[in-house]
Amino acid sequence: MTSSTLQTEDPRPSFPARLRTETYLARVDWHLEAVMNGKHRRSTIRELRQAILSDPRGIDVSLDDLGSPKSLARQYGDDEDLHADEVRLDGEARGLRPVTSVDVAPQVPLPDERVGVE
């Protein structure tokens, strides 16, 4: 036997392909928060992951065909006939807004607010 007959193709995708897939799915999941509940969203992401990994054309072609995560999530939302301002949590409308630098910036006291400085 030669070494070429012993080698089999690894069915698992490469690390970069898995990373690209999981990053894409995380972004889709983030956008889906606005249009579907958690259980349905997790199920959708699971099905989408399985479809991407089982596509015979490969991960790169599959992800390219799906388009941007935001537009894919919007399509799922259109299919569900939901809109971001109609999704309810605890009986109230969930108004989503983009995260800004003010939201993530650490709270640093201004120079005159520091203790012991006059």
What's the residue count for the chain? Answer: 118
Q: Cα(17)–Cα(40) distance, rounded to whole angstroms? A: 25
Residue 113 domain-assigned (yes or no): no
* Number of folded domains that form the chain: 1
Would you state the pLDDT for residue 4? 52
Asked if residue 67 belongs to a domain, the reply is: yes
Domain enclosing residue 21, as ranges: 13-94
pTM: 0.59
Please state, in angstroms and as integers, the Cα–Cα distance from residue 43 to each residue in 18, 63, 100, following that order: 19, 18, 30
Side-chain-side CA neighbours of 101 within 13 Å: the count stands at 0
Whether 57 is covered by a domain: the verdict is: yes
| List of the chain residues with pLDDT < 50 | 1, 82-96, 103-104
In a domain, 106, yes or no: no
Q: Is residue 108 part of a domain?
A: no
What pLDDT is recorded for position 30?
A: 94
Domain assignment present for 89: yes
Q: What do you get for the CA distance between the two ends of the chain, in Å?
A: 84
